[in-house]
């Protein structure tokens, strides 16, 4: 499994934000992105029908499925946005709305990321 992962994995960058509460009465939060953390993951496209089935309630333009090592699960849960090498889109996931499913598959973690649809 490690050999397959090493052959198919591409670099992705995970951006984590530092949150500062600007108004304690309304609980508004200002987010400041810190430097990205690069990791390697297997990235695959998923169809819009599968995205609608796996992420109910999320309207997306484009979505992907990523497999990464289990030790990076905590980074995925804290991520504000994710970028994939060779793709100019910014993907969102677990941290933005909490609906991204993270599933452990052996020593890997599978999760879904998506591009928000502009309406």
pLDDT higher than 70, residue 100? no
From residue 47, give the alpha-carbon distance in Å to each of 8, 24, 66, 70, 98: 20, 42, 14, 25, 21
- pLDDT value of position 118: 66
Question: What is the topology classification, in CATH, of domain 2-116?
Answer: Thrombin, subunit H (2.40.10)
pLDDT tens, residue by residue, 10-69: 999 999 988 899 998 998 989 899 999 999 999 999 887 777 777 777 777 788 899 999
Gap between the Cα atoms of 102 and 13, Å rounded: 18
């Amino acid at each position: 499994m490690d050999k397959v992962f090493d052959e198919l994995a591409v670099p992705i960058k995970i951006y984590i934000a530092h949150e500062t509460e600007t108004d304690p009465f309304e609980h508004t939060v200002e987010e400041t992105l810190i430097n990205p953390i690069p990791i390697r993951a297997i990235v695959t496209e998923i169809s819009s029908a599968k995205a609608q089935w796996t992420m109910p309630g999320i309207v997306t333009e484009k979505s992907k499925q990523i497999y990464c090592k289990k030790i990076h699960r905590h980074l995925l849960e804290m991520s504000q946005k994710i970028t994939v090498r060779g793709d100019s889109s910014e993907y969102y996931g677990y941290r933005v709305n909490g609906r991204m499913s993270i599933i452990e598959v052996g020593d890997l973690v599978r999760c879904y990321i998506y591009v928000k649809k502009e309406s």
